[in-house]
Amino acid sequence: MKIVKSKMETSKGQLQYNISGNGKPNIVLINGGSGPIEGWVRILPEISESASVFSYNRFGVDGFYGLPLKLLES
C-alpha cells in the first residue's frame, strides 16, 4: 500500500498527513521519535478496513520542516 500524503497550511507551517479507511473507531497514529508516516505501512491496510485512520509527519520529519507554503514554492 502506498501512503498518499496530503498537505494543510497551519499558522506554524505546513502539515503532512494521511487519512485512510472509513469507519468507526477513529484512530490517530502517532510516531515516536522521528519516524515518518511510512512507518505505519505494514499495519495501515489492515486497520483501515474497519476504521478511519489519521497519521501525520511531525515538523522536521522526512526532510519536511513545516515551512509556510509560500516559502516552499519560491
> What is the pTM (predicted TM-score) of this model?
0.75
Query: Can you tell me which residue has the cell 473507531?
Result: 25
C-alpha torsion 28→32→36→41, nearest 10: -60
Using the predicted structure, report yes or no on whether residue 67 has a pLDDT greater than 80. no
Number of domains present in the structure of the chain: 1
pLDDT, tens digit (0-9, with 9 covering 90-100), for 12-50: 778 889 999 999 999 999 887 778 888 898 999 999 999
Domain-located, residue 1: no
Domain-located, residue 57: yes
Domain-located, residue 52: yes
- For residue 14, give the C-alpha cell: 505546513
Contacts of residue 1, Cβ cutoff 8 Å, sequence gap at least 6: 41, 44, 45
H/E element holding 71? helix 69-73
